Structure 1
Amino acid sequence: MQFRLDNLTRQFGSQKAVDSVSIEIPTGQMVGVIGRSGAGKSTLLRMINRLVDPTSGSIRFGDVEISTLRGAALRNWQRDCAMIFQQFNLVPRLDVLTNVLLGRLNHRSTALSMLNIFSREERLMAIAALERLGIEQTALQAAGTLSGGQQQRVAIARALMQSPKMVLADEPIASLDPLNAKIVMDALRDINEREGITVITNLHTLDTARNYCERIIGMARGRVVFDGAPSELTADAVHEIYGADRHGAGIDETMTSTSINIAHQDNDAARKIPSPGLRPLAAAEA
């Protein structure tokens, strides 16, 4: 289904955090949103998920007007539009498996949710999601005991449990080291490519956007100032987005959290770093 924003605006007092954004995203694209802090990236994603209401404008998914949804219809949208946060948003004292199972809450009755009763099929689905992300061995650990990279993978597994039509990721690798950043971005790309799910992710590094996203949207002062393929992200476009000079001074694409993933690296040691086996959820369940 076509996803469309028309003149989407969010105003806080006299300041417009997002200012008249209009974009169309076909199903199955992996889109990176880049820009300086305060450019409006996070507010944009939160409006799409309806964690923040638009001041004006329209959000449409197919024939559904998302910006006016209320009650059960809004909860269904937030189920279909999974959100992954920079700070993971797990429940630290609960074990990993239960945290993943919480992704099923909007698929279940209120009574079952209150009683914390999950079916055998749901538990198998959660284990399969953890296996897909290479962290099934952590299933019975308290989520708060895991590393940041492991916690973010748990958050992705929880999002998979929602059976989403779209995944939003708000700075998912901002606090991770290079290897864990690569693992998390590999997982998001795998979801996009294997399931054909639209992924929109806010990113703070240019190399990550270039390496993983087929489309890049650049924001500055709440507005979209660039929208194109990675190959079109020229020095002039970088200047428009970040306010650097025309040669991109101040934006060093080699010193980034995902530099380990540069396609033509020659470092033998880097080649030996294992990545988790990312498998389609259906295959993991088999």
Structure 2
Amino acid sequence: MLKLENVTRRFGDFAAVDNVTVTIPQGQMVGVIGRSGAGKSTLLRMLNRLIDPSGGVIRFNEVQVSSLQGAELRRWQRDCAMIFQQFNLVPRLNVLTNVLLGRLNHRSTMLNLVGSWSREERAMGIMALERLGIAQTALQRAGTLSGGQQQRVAIARALMQQPKMLLADEPIASLDPLNAQIVMDSLKSINREEGITVVTNLHTLDTARTYCERVIGMAAGRVVFDGPANELTRDAVRMIYGADGDELSEEITSTSLGQPDGGREESLGPLEPAA
């Protein structure tokens, strides 16, 4: 279980994340939504300890994540894998080698220096690529792949870490709707089949509705909604997106993704007013 208690991150006088308290049970798929600048990426980067909180405590089970240092911090970053919007692959290396880089924190420094991969590790890498439907690209340079393929390589690399939690920072923001659906289908499959907690930042409400059992809405660094997507009222969406009345349209809340189980495409439809 992941617990955030009064977590804050300041940049000078500006609070990018402001006094957030959230508990996420193991195995949930959580979508964090909000406009650009709402604090979503800062929140995920604190969970992975790419940046440190200015205040508050982050715990995972009995481990106080927010105070980890050295080898213990590296172990946490292995257990809490991160997927980035811009993929963070090494373009000149082939796809399989990029995937194998996910094993670095499982290996000795000497093995990492000589760049030697075992037969078992290579088999794991191929299996991860097969799971993402791109095993045929294993020997291609990563830089030759499409954006959607590169993001699937990044997910395969994260799986090689054998993580307990998967963080995805705007994983579909730079993808077309078809590739966005493939990537979100992959994350949902991992969550369902492996029981791995997935926390993903998303710009759009419809994607969160389609794929996430729980939605956390952020605005100005604060959590303004936390609950099932079907409990989002028009007033809640207005708080999250900062829109007034007529501005609540598909343009701010939709990427035209279809259903994850291959069903027909579904729009948001009318949002019910708050009771």
* TM-score with structure 1 setting the length: 0.90
Alpha-carbon distance, 1:257 to partner: 5.0
Cα–Cα, structure 1 residues 218 and 263, in superposed 2: closer, same or farther, change >3 Å? farther
- Equivalent residue for 1:188? 187
Q: Distance in 2 between the 1:260 and 1:240 partners? A: 26
Alpha-carbon distance, 1:246 to partner: 4.4
Q: Distance in 1 between the 2:222 and 2:213 partners? A: 20
Alpha-carbon distance, 1:170 to partner: 0.2
Q: Distance in 1 between the 2:265 and 2:24 partners? A: 36
Alpha-carbon distance, 1:126 to partner: 0.2
- Equivalent residue for 2:17? 18
Instruction: Kindly provide the amino acid, as one letter, of the partner of residue 39 in structure 1.
Output: A
Q: Distance in 2 between the 1:176 and 1:219 partners? A: 23
- Equivalent residue for 2:240? 241
Cα–Cα, structure 1 residues 29 and 255, in superposed 2: closer, same or farther, change >3 Å? closer
Alpha-carbon distance, 1:21 to partner: 0.3
- Equivalent residue for 1:80? 79
Q: Distance in 2 between the 1:266 and 1:148 partners? A: 22
- Equivalent residue for 1:207? 206
SS of 2:172's equivalent?
A: coil
Alpha-carbon distance, 1:200 to partner: 0.1
Structure 1 residues 14-43: Cα deviation after superposition (integer angstroms, max 9, x where no partner) = 000000000000000000000010000000
Alpha-carbon distance, 1:205 to partner: 1.1
Q: Distance in 2 between the 1:37 and 1:162 partners? A: 29
Q: Distance in 1 between the 2:19 and 2:246 partners? A: 29
Alignment map for 1:1-286 (pairs within 5 Å):
2-246=1-245, 249-252=248-251, 255-256=254-255, 258-259=257-258, 264-265=263-264
Cα–Cα, structure 1 residues 223 and 120, in superposed 2: closer, same or farther, change >3 Å? same
- Equivalent residue for 2:273? none
Instruction: Kindly provide the amino acid, as one letter, of the partner of residue 86 in structure 2.
Output: Q
CA RMSD, aligned part only?
A: 1.7
Cα–Cα, structure 1 residues 145 and 98, in superposed 2: closer, same or farther, change >3 Å? same
Structure 1 residues 229-266: Cα deviation after superposition (integer angstroms, max 9, x where no partner) = 01111111000111112466244477515247597527
- Equivalent residue for 2:271? none
- Equivalent residue for 1:280? none
Contact 2:210 2:259 in 1 (8 A): no
Segments of 5+ residues of structure 2 without an aligned counterpart are 267-275
Q: Distance in 1 between the 2:254 and 2:98 partners? A: 34
Q: Distance in 1 between the 2:256 and 2:200 partners? A: 15
Instruction: Kindly provide the amino acid, as one letter, of the partner of residue 8 in structure 1.
Output: V
Contact 1:244 1:250 in 2 (8 A): no
Cα–Cα, structure 1 residues 15 and 254, in superposed 2: closer, same or farther, change >3 Å? closer
- Equivalent residue for 1:284? none
Aligned residues between the structures: 266
- Equivalent residue for 1:273? none
Structure 1 residues 45-72: Cα deviation after superposition (integer angstroms, max 9, x where no partner) = 0000000000010000000000000000
Q: Distance in 1 between the 2:58 and 2:148 partners? A: 32
Q: Distance in 2 between the 1:11 and 1:242 partners? A: 22
Contact 2:258 2:264 in 1 (8 A): no
Contact 1:18 1:40 in 2 (8 A): yes
- Equivalent residue for 1:281? none
Contact 2:85 2:171 in 1 (8 A): yes
Contact 2:94 2:139 in 1 (8 A): yes
Cα–Cα, structure 1 residues 125 and 98, in superposed 2: closer, same or farther, change >3 Å? same
Instruction: Kindly provide the amino acid, as one letter, of the partner of residue 225 in structure 1.
Output: V
Contact 2:126 2:135 in 1 (8 A): yes
Cα–Cα, structure 1 residues 6 and 254, in superposed 2: closer, same or farther, change >3 Å? closer
Cα–Cα, structure 1 residues 218 and 254, in superposed 2: closer, same or farther, change >3 Å? closer
Structure 1 residues 73-127: Cα deviation after superposition (integer angstroms, max 9, x where no partner) = 0000000000000000000000000000000000000010111111100000000
